[in-house]
């Protein structure tokens, strides 16, 4: 057993927390971009696009994230490419987030009254113009809260990448737990770390929800 | 040549045959009132004219712009046809003036200042130039519907379609909307309106069209239609209304 000072432990954990944060941001930003594309496909008039988007969403919502991660990690290696854990983790978290975000946003688009599409269409706007100027601004209002809410899921989801060797918060925790033989304390601190990331996000979601409700009342 | 020509138009919703061969001609400046029972296909016909419903068969032509069965690009047609809906369908995230300006900028690529001028003019026409910056939600139903009319007019359509535009209004707000329509009719706007306001149809309509079971069952001047209906169905329909 190696003696670690509490400061060393905290330093390692902070580093792990940093990686967790990076990974979450990456998944959120790239997942949001890909998810936007999936959303467009999901509500497209072209049936094949809709079928593809539906299949995509159902696959990623209907299978465990861990399995998706393995598929990417080992799947890409099978293709003769040695993938770094970073690439595999970033890739699979992106695909996973994209599916959930697309589905959340689809619900928000569908919450906008059909009459809004029709009014915009009757003014000779193209489908994209209808979406861009009339539907999305209204859907956005519904989307903020569940989107921020889902970001909490992403942060927690990053923990599975510890399996393929990402030294994010959970992995750092288990290394430290083995080294110090104090798993309870260490994982308590790990839990606190996740809480530090997630709690502000869920507060933010609540805050935005209230704020948007007030705005909507005007 | 007629401004609007509807030629053996059919519409199926799945196995439900809703329009069963509709023919209609509307001349420029004409005001046509479509009446008929619920479910007779009035809305479906109106929505077909600006491509909100695709045709199963037949042809529609508005000022030289054709719409065939299976056609999906409606833009050219919609530039000629304005529509006002029963539920107003104003854009709630935009102010009154922005509601009117939006398509002028997006579709007609008008500069903002020009679009604003144009919006002011049409809003003035419907008597709402004092509500430019209000949100639709802050207006009464009658005011909202007048904004919707202004929004459609701003695009300078050749034909304005109105689908029961007073049906969602409280009774005391109906007349302000009808007054705007009456004014438009007086100015020579071509109007095709589905209405349950028989007295109004009689007053401003040049032609009344009675739809029954997916067909135009009878048409004529208001005097003929209300004074001397030829078919039993029309007589029954008018009788049922107590008119
Ligand atoms: N999108 C749709 N899908 C399936 N059936 C439809 C659709 N729209 C209308 N219908 C059917 O078509 C028929 C005609 O409807 P339409 O709305 O044109 O009638 P209407 O004459 O406008 O009636 P109302 O006076 O009640 O407005 C009805 O039986 C209706 O149920
Ligand atoms: Mg109707």
Tens of pLDDT along A69-117?
999 998 888 887 778 889 999 999 999 999 999 999 999 999 999 999 9
Indicate if ligand 1 lies below 6 Å from the C-beta of B48: no
* Chain A residues near residue B50 by CB distance under 8 angstroms: 122
Query: For chain A, which residues lie within 8 Å of any Cβ of chain B, measuring from their own Cβ?
Result: 45, 113, 115-116, 118-126, 129, 133-134, 137-138, 141, 218
**Partner residue opposite A126 with nearest CB, options B75, B81, B82:** B75
Query: Alpha-carbon distance B241 to A167, whole Å?
Result: 78
Judged by its nearest atom, the ligand closest to the C-alpha of residue B36 is 1
Report mean pLDDT in 10-residue bins for chain B, 243 residues.
95 97 97 97 97 96 94 94 98 97 98 98 97 97 98 98 96 96 97 95 96 97 95 92 61
Per-residue tokens: B99:
């509601």
Across the range A135-142, mean pLDDT stands at: 93
pLDDT of residue A216: 66
| DSSP symbol at B51 | T
Paired tokens of A103: 């589905």
**A213 assigned to some structural domain:** yes
Q: How far is the CA of B41 from the centre of ligand 1 (A)?
A: 6
pLDDT at position A1, please? 53
Residues near ion ligand 2 (CB < 5 Å) are: B 43
Q: State how many domains chain A has.
A: 1
Taking an 8 Å cut-off on Cβ atoms, the answer to whether B92 and A138 are in contact is: yes
Contact of B79 with chain A, judged by CB distance below 8 Å, is answered with: yes
Nearest residue on chain B to A215, alpha-carbon basis: B93
Query: Is A38 domain-assigned?
Result: yes
What is the pLDDT averaged over residues A125-140? 96
Asked, for residue A155, whether it belongs to a domain, the answer is yes
Q: Quote the ipTM score.
A: 0.95
- The dihedral over CA atoms of A6, A7, A13, A15, expressed in degrees to the nearest 10, equals -170
- Closest-CA residue, ligand 1 atom 9, reads B44
CATH architecture of B4-240: 3-Layer(aba) Sandwich (3.40)
Mean pLDDT to the nearest integer, A28-51: 97
- Is the four-CA dihedral B85, B91, B97, B101 of positive or negative sign? negative
Quick one: chain A helix, strand, coil %, rounded to 5? 85, 0, 15
Would you call B219 helix, strand, or coil by DSSP? strand
pLDDT of residue B242: 61
Is the confidence at residue A214, as pLDDT, over 90?
A: no
What is the pLDDT, as a whole number, of residue A2? 63
Give the structural domain span for A35: 6-217
Distance in Å, alpha carbon of A145 to nearest chain B alpha carbon: 18
Q: What is the CA radius of gyration of chain B?
A: 18
Distance from CA of B66 to the nearest CA of A (A): 15
Ligand 1 atom closest to the Cα of residue B53 is 1
Residue A1 falls inside a structural domain? no
CB-ligand 1 contact for B243 (6 Å cutoff) = no
In the prediction, which pLDDT does A24 show? Answer: 97
* Contact criterion met (CB < 8 Å) for A121 and B151: no
The answer to whether B194 touches B46, Cβ cutoff 8 Å, is yes
Q: Which ligand 1 atom sits nearest the alpha carbon of residue B46?
A: 18
Which atom in ligand 1 lies closest to the alpha carbon of residue B211?
A: 21
Angle at B5 between CA B235 and CA B75, to 5 degrees: 125
For A125, name the nearest residue in chain B, comparing CA atoms only. B107
In this prediction, residue A217 has a pLDDT band, given cuts at 50, 70 and 90, of low
In this structure, the residue with its CA closest to atom 26 of ligand 1 is: B38
Tell me the CB-side half-sphere exposure of residue B73, using CA atoms within 13 A.
3
Among protein residues, the one with the nearest Cα to ligand 1's atom 19 is: B39
| Residues B45-49: contacts with CB under 8 Å, at least 24 apart | B45/B6, B45/B9, B45/B11, B45/B19, B45/B211, B46/B83, B46/B161, B46/B163, B46/B192, B46/B194, B47/B163, B48/B6, B48/B9, B48/B11, B48/B19, B49/B4, B49/B6, B49/B81, B49/B159, B49/B161, B49/B192
Which ligand is closest to the CA of B19, given by its number? 1
pTM of the model: 0.91
Q: What is the pLDDT of residue B239?
A: 85
pLDDT, residue B149, reads: 98
Please choose, from the candidates B37, B32, B47, the residue with its C-alpha nearest in 3D space to the C-alpha of residue B181.
B32
The closest CB to that of B52, out of A122, A133, A141, belongs to A122
Can you tell me the distance from the alpha carbon of B18 to that of B12, in angstroms, rounded to the nearest whole number? 6
Compute the distance from residue B214 Cα to the ligand 1 centre, in Å: 10
Q: Which of A35-39, A198-202, A203-207, B230-234 has the lowest mean pLDDT?
A: A203-207
Percent with pLDDT over 70 in chain A: 98
* Structural domain includes residue A113: yes
Q: CB of B12 closer than 6 A to ligand 1? A: no
- For the cut 70, the answer to whether the pLDDT of residue A52 exceeds it is yes
Contact between A183 and A108 (Cβ < 8 Å): no
Tell whether B78 is within 8 A of chain A (Cβ).
yes
Q: Give the least confident one: A122-126, A208-212, B108-112, B144-148.
A: A208-212
Which chain B residues contact residue A133 at CB under 8 A?
102, 106
Mutate to test the interface with B, among A124, A213, A214, A218 (most CBs of B within 10 A): A124
């Amino acid at each position: 057993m190696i003696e670690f000072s509490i400061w060393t432990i905290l330093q390692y954990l902070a580093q792990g927390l940093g990686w967790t944060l990076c990974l979450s941001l990456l998944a959120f930003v790239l997942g949001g971009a890909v998810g936007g594309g999936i959303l467009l496909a999901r509500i497209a008039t072209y049936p094949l696009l809709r079928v593809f988007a539906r299949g995509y969403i159902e696959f990623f919502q209907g299978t465990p994230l861990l399995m998706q991660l393995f598929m990417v990690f080992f799947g890409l290696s099978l293709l003769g490419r040695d993938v770094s854990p970073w690439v595999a983790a970033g890739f699979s978290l992106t695909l996973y987030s994209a599916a959930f975000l697309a589905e959340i946003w689809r619900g928000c688009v569908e919450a906008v009254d059909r009459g809004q599409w029709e009014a915009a269409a009757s003014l000779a706007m193209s489908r994209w113009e209808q979406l861009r100027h009339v539907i999305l601004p209204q859907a956005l209002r519904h989307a903020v809260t569940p989107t921020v809410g889902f970001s909490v899921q992403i942060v927690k989801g990053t923990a599975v990448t510890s399996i393929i060797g990402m030294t994010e918060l959970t992995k750092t925790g288990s290394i430290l737990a083995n080294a110090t033989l104090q798993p309870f304390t260490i994982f308590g601190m790990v839990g606190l770390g996740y809480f530090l990331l997630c709690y502000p996000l869920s507060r933010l979601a609540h805050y935005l929800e209230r704020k948007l409700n007030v705005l909507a009342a005007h | 040549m007629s401004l609007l020509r509807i030629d053996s138009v059919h519409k199926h919703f799945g196995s439900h045959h809703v329009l069963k061969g509709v023919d209609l001609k509307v001349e420029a400046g004409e005001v046509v009132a479509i009446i008929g029972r619920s479910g007779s296909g009035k809305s479906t016909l109106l929505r077909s004219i600006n491509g909100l419903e695709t045709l199963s068969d037949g042809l529609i032509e508005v000022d030289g712009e054709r719409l065939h069965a299976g056609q999906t690009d409606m833009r050219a047609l919609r530039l000629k046809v304005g529509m006002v809906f029963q539920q107003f369908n104003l854009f709630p995230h935009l102010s009154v003036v922005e509601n009117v300006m939006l398509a002028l900028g997006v579709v007609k690529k008008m500069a903002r200042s020009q679009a604003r001028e144009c919006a002011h003019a049409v809003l003035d026409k419907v008597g709402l130039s004092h509500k430019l910056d209000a949100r639709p939600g802050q207006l009464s139903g009658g005011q909202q519907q007048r904004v919707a009319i202004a929004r459609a007019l701003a695009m300078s359509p050749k034909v304005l379609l109105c689908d029961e535009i007073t049906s969602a209004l409280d009774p005391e707000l109906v007349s302000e909307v009808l007054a705007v329509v009456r004014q438009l009719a007086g100015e020579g706007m071509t109007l095709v309106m589905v209405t349950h306001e028989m007295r109004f149809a009689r007053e401003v309509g040049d032609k009344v069209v009675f739809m029954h079971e997916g067909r135009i069952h009878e048409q004529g001047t208001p005097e003929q239609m209300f004074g001397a209906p030829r078919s039993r169905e029309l007589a029954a329909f008018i009788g049922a209304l107590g008119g």
